[in-house]
């Protein structure tokens, strides 16, 4: 085979992309010094994945396929999931992003799952669980004659384990917790994240059945089943349960829902097992002990001269399937059970990013029927070509081992290499690297602001919008600033109407459009589609209900919604003109820089008992909100007093610079020392923990009331850099530094 020659030129990476790569992806030495460039990283990944060819032909010249992989990745036409970029060709060698583990109804099985979770998170993966096998709270435990503590109590064990493991500083642990709607503890599960103080390492979803949805439509009762013995243990009104799910999702975005029967309807290997859960963002249904390797095509790169480049798209799809099948082959799986299950089914999940970018280049507004029709056409093409590529691999490498008895086999379909081929995942940080819009989401913003050193404010503009603005003659720095302040183009008269229609953002689009777009992609996707349905802050519970019902009607496999401002920790990153801030705690900063100290402040002092003696914490406020914090350490001196003073100074600086109280609490809470104090809810683990508890007490005492202020730029959305946070597939991702809430 003649070796093809490709240009070594790599597209210029954006500043944000380089920041993300340097912080999380590039190889480092023991001292933290970066050892490779982005181009060298692309070569490392391409060469490593191409080396799998030798497993099928020891004499194979891997340089040809390595060059094709490198061209595709380095040109940002395709990127694999983050663990593959991070770990391919490195000692860890764990390349999968998502796993599902079984949780059995015994102490041994539960804590085996906790141990396995730790190993997976240590390797850089996220985990999904169904807790539906666990007997309900207060149920009988025959071996001890005691009573069960129930699924939610054990979820807290997994949550604490996840919090403890930091995954080497590159990827945070993330979990999905699912409970069947017919489990006796379902109402407690629906409410388990209502106070926002627990299970923060979990996304949660209720597993809905067809029988339940039919009962909702008829406003009938349905049976609750005790998983210990399969017996009916009670009944609930389906409509009331459904309304509780919707109301709680309206409150803070959780729980999501997954339609379990639909997941199993499309389970390609029912003879191997039933699907109980998904990965943390909900798009990848998996059998117990199964993993999946994901990757996304950048659709923005598949447009030439205002037309979809179907020829290149086909080439890239076939190359991607080859790439992902190689990943399955050389992956270093964290558990032998996972290796066996994954190799048996060889599932891959090829998805897309840059969908909004493709539409803009084609001149098609996101919220049109034409866009929905194109979504069907593009994803149908990718799915069909992906299956064709997998069938071609099966001719030379063999079908996946569990093919016999699978749905393919029963339908008389050709042998195929991979049990599933397509998945639409949230693309989070890899879309930042590719400078592409996330997944199948609309644009989050056309222009936004970022704060850099010395409190300078820079305006970031979508490159396609900037190019069109300059071409059409309406570009100016002042206009870009105005767009960033508005957060939308809708009311900016200086911009032509056709451009305003084309560059719609997530909050310009009705929830119905979000669901219809999700359904269009789902129709031609083997697994599921990760998509967030955005609601304005003023949306009603009934608005959410209509979307859930539409998702069921349009055959979606799940729904994740987010109502703007419905979580305490969210801070809007684009302004709402003359609108009060309604989404945060009473410590909101109203300036873009550090506030100056007035001569007189009001304050409260809280006594906290620590292992070093009483710690007095004084919280002072100015007219805006929380301003500064002082500590006095009883009669103790030395290290305890000086460390407490240092904490107070840093907290004061953070508040004066705009950081939220809850972010300070998150950083300090749970830090332990050699001398804790107290028991139960009153236990104080350290002086830092005492400061966090004092701030919490202050917030509670003041009712969490919001200071209503006018804003141009609200910073602090991202706990790492204060940049934009987008809600995507049940996760929050920063477009500036790559921080991910659940990855």
3-state helix, strand, coil in the chain (%, to 5): 40, 20, 45
Q: Is residue 165 part of a domain?
A: yes
Q: Are residues 140 and 234 in the same domain?
A: yes
Q: Which of 92-101, 523-532, 668-677 has the lowest mean pLDDT?
A: 668-677
pLDDT band at 656 (very low <50, low <70, confident <90, very high): confident
**CATH number of the domain bearing residue 306:** 3.20.70.20
- Burial class from Cβ neighbours inside 10 Å (0-12, 13-18, 19+) for residue 17 reads buried
| Catalytic residue of the set 67, 254, 276, 283 | 283
Kindly tell me if the per-residue pLDDT of 168 is higher than 60: no
CA–CA gap between residue 60 and residue 88 (Å, rounded): 20
β-pair type (348-353, 613-621): unpaired
Q: Is residue 459 part of a domain?
A: no
Report the 10 Å Cβ neighbour count for 6. 12
Q: Are residues 35 and 57 in the same domain?
A: yes
Mean pLDDT, the chain, rounded, equals: 87
Q: Are residues 147 and 242 in the same domain?
A: yes
Where do the H-state alpha helices sit in 222-367?
238-252, 260-265, 310-330, 336-345, 355-362
Among 215, 247, 278, give the residue marking a domain's end: 278
Among 401, 430, 459, give the residue marking a domain's end: 430
Q: Are residues 296 and 418 in the same domain?
A: yes
User: Which pLDDT score is estimated for 585?
Assistant: 35
User: Which pLDDT score is estimated for 676?
Assistant: 84
Q: Are residues 262 and 113 in the same domain?
A: yes
Q: What percent of the chain has pLDDT over 70?
A: 87
CA–CA gap between residue 357 and residue 374 (Å, rounded): 13
Buried b (16+ CB within 10 A) or exposed e, 598-631: eeeeeeeebebebbbeebebbbbbbebbbbbbbb
What is the residue range of 254's domain? Answer: 98-278
pLDDT band at 486 (very low <50, low <70, confident <90, very high): confident
Q: Is residue 738 part of a domain?
A: no
The CA distances from residue 483 to 445, 475, 590, 713, 737, in Å, are 9, 11, 19, 12, 22
Q: Is residue 530 part of a domain?
A: no
String of DSSP letters for 522-591: HTT-SS-B--EEEE-TT--HHHHHHHHHHHHHTT-SEEEEEETT-STT---SS--TT----SS-TT---S
Q: What is the 3-state secondary structure (H, E, C) of 489-507?
A: CCCCCCCCHHHHHHCCECC
Averaged pLDDT, 683-702: 87
User: Which pLDDT score is estimated for 712?
Assistant: 30
Kindly tell me if the per-residue pLDDT of 558 is higher than 90: yes
CA angle 62, 67, 72 (to 5 degrees): 130
User: Which pLDDT score is estimated for 581?
Assistant: 33
Q: Give me the residue label for tokens 């539906």.
A: 132
Q: Is residue 546 part of a domain?
A: no
Q: Is residue 246 part of a domain?
A: yes
Whether 283 sits among the annotated catalytic residues: the reply is: yes
| Catalytic residue of the set 201, 203, 279, 298 | 279
Q: Are residues 78 and 130 in the same domain?
A: no
Where do the H-state alpha helices sit in 206-335?
210-218, 238-252, 260-265, 310-330
User: Which pLDDT score is estimated for 124?
Assistant: 81
User: Which pLDDT score is estimated for 723?
Assistant: 64
Report the 10 Å Cβ neighbour count for 153. 12
Q: Are residues 264 and 356 in the same domain?
A: no
Q: Are residues 313 and 181 in the same domain?
A: no
CA–CA gap between residue 117 and residue 126 (Å, rounded): 8
pLDDT band at 646 (very low <50, low <70, confident <90, very high): confident
Q: Are residues 112 and 165 in the same domain?
A: yes
pLDDT, tens digit, for every residue of 512-543? 999 999 999 999 999 999 999 999 989 999 99
- Burial class from Cβ neighbours inside 10 Å (0-12, 13-18, 19+) for residue 632 reads middle
What H or E segment, with its residue span, contains residue 380? helix 369-397
pLDDT, tens digit, for every residue of 64-84? 999 999 999 999 999 999 999
Best mean pLDDT range from 367-381, 427-441, 652-666: 367-381
Q: Are residues 260 and 316 in the same domain?
A: no
Q: Is residue 524 part of a domain?
A: no
pLDDT band at 722 (very low <50, low <70, confident <90, very high): low
Best mean pLDDT range from 19-23, 46-50, 615-619, 696-700: 46-50
Q: Are residues 306 and 341 in the same domain?
A: yes
Cβ atoms of residues 79 and 85 within 8 Å: yes
pLDDT, tens digit, for every residue of 99-137? 999 999 999 999 999 999 999 988 888 999 999 999 999
**Considering the entire predicted model, what is its pTM?**
0.80
How many domains does the chain contain in total? 3
Q: Is residue 476 part of a domain?
A: no
Largest Cα–Cα separation, the chain: 82
Among 430, 456, 473, give the residue marking a domain's end: 430
Q: What is the 3-state secondary structure (H, E, C) of 597-647?
A: CCCCCEEEEEEEEECCEEEEEEEEECCCCEEEEEEECCCCCHHHHHHHHHH
- Assigned token pair, 195: 């106070």
CA–CA gap between residue 308 and residue 374 (Å, rounded): 10
Q: Are residues 357 and 310 in the same domain?
A: yes
Averaged pLDDT, 441-454: 74
Enumerate residues 6+ apart whose C-beta is below 8 A from 615: 607, 608, 609, 631, 632, 633, 634, 644, 687, 690, 691
The CA distances from residue 307 to 57, 188, 300, 310, 358, in Å, are 39, 51, 11, 9, 9
- Assigned token pair, 682: 């009153």
What backbone torsions phi and psi does residue 620 show, to the nearest 5 degrees?
-110, 145
Question: Nearest CA to 77 among 442, 386, 430?
Answer: 430
Whether 22 sits among the annotated catalytic residues: the reply is: no
Whether 639 sits among the annotated catalytic residues: the reply is: no
pLDDT band at 638 (very low <50, low <70, confident <90, very high): low
| Catalytic residue of the set 53, 68, 203, 281 | 281
- Assigned token pair, 91: 């000692």
Averaged pLDDT, 202-211: 96
């Amino acid at each position: 085979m003649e070796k093809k020659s490709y240009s070594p030129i790599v597209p210029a990476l954006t500043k944000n992309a380089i920041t993300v790569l340097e912080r999380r992806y590039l190889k480092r030495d023991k001292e933290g010094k970066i050892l490779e460039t982005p181009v060298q990283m692309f070569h490392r990944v391409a060469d490593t994945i191409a080396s799998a060819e030798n497993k099928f032909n020891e004499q194979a010249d891997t340089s040809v396929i390595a060059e094709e992989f490198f061209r595709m990745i380095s040109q940002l036409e395709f990127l694999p999931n983050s663990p593959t970029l991070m770990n391919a060709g490195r000692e860890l060698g764990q390349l999968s992003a998502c796993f599902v583990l079984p949780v059995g109804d015994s102490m041994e099985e539960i804590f085996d799952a906790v141990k396995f979770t730790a190993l997976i998170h240590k390797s850089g993966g996220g985990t999904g669980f169904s807790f539906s096998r666990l007997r309900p709270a207060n149920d009988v435990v025959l071996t001890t004659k005691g009573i069960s503590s129930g699924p939610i109590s054990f979820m807290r064990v997994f949550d604490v384990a996840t919090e403890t493991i930091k995954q080497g500083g590159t990827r945070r642990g993330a979990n999905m917790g699912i409970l069947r709607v017919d489990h006796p503890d379902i109402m407690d599960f629906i409410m388990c994240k209502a106070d926002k103080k627990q299970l923060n390492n979990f996304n949660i979803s209720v597993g809905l059945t067809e029988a339940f949805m039919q009962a909702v439509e008829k406003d009938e009762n349905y049976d609750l089943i005790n998983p210990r013995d399969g017996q009916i243990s009670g009944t609930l009104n389906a409509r009331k349960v459904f309304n509780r799910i919707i109301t709680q999702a309206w409150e803070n975005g959780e729980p999501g829902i997954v339609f379990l029967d639909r997941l199993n309807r499309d389970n390609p290997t029912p003879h191997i097992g039933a699907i109980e859960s998904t990965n943390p963002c909900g798009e990848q249904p998996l059998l117990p002990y199964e993993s999946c390797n994901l990757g996304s095509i950048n659709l923005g790169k598949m447009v030439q001269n205002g037309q979809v480049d179907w020829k290149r798209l086909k080439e890239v799809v076939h190359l991607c399937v080859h790439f992902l099948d190689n990943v399955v082959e050389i992956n270093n799986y964290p558990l032998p059970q996972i290796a066996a299950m994954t190799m048996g089914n060889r599932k891959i999940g090829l998805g897309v990013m840059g969908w909004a970018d493709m539409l803009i280049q084609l001149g098609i507004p996101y919220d049109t029927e034409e866009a929905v029709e194109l979504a069907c056409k593009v994803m149908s093409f990718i799915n069909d070509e992906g299956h064709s590529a997998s069938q071609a691999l099966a001719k030379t490498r063999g079908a996946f081992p569990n093919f016999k008895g699978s749905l393919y086999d029963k339908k008389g379909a050709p042998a195929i290499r991979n049990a599933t081929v397509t998945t639409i995942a949230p693309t989070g940080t890899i879309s930042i690297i590719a400078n592409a819009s996330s997944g199948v989401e609309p644009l989050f913003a056309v222009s936004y602001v970022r704060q850099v050193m010395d409190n300078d404010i820079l305006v970031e503009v979508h490159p396609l919008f900037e190019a069109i603005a300059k071409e059409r003659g309406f570009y100016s720095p002042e206009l870009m600033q105005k767009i960033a302040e508005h957060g939308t183009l809708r009311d900016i008269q200086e911009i032509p109407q056709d451009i305003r229609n084309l560059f719609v953002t997530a909050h310009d689009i009705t929830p119905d459009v979000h669901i219809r777009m999700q359904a269009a992609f789902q129709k031609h996707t083997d697994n599921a589609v990760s998509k967030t349905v955005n609601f304005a802050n003023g949306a009603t519970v009934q608005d959410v209900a209509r979307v859930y019902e539409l998702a069921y009607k349009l055959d979606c496999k799940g729904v994740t919604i987010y109502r703007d401002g419905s979580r305490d920790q969210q801070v809007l990153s684009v302004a709402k003109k003359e609108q009060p801030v309604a989404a945060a705690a009473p410590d909101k900063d109203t300036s873009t820089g550090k506030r100056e100290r007035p001569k007189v402040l009001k304050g409260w002092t809280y006594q906290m008992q620590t292992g070093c003696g009483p710690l007095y914490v004084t919280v002072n406020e100015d007219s805006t909100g929380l301003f500064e914090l002082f500590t006095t350490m009883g009669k103790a001196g030395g290290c305890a007093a000086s460390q407490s003073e240092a904490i107070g100074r840093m907290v004061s600086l953070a508040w004066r610079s705009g950081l939220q109280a809850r972010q300070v609490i998150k950083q300090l809470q749970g830090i332990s020392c050699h001398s804790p104090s107290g028991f139960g809810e009153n236990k104080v683990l350290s002086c830092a923990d005492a400061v966090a508890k004092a701030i919490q007490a202050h917030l509670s005492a003041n009712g969490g009331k919001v200071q209503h202020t006018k804003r141009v730029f609200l910073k602090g959305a991202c706990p790492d850099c204060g940049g934009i946070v987008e809600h995507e597939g049940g996760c929050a991702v920063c477009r500036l530094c790559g921080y991910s809430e659940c990855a």
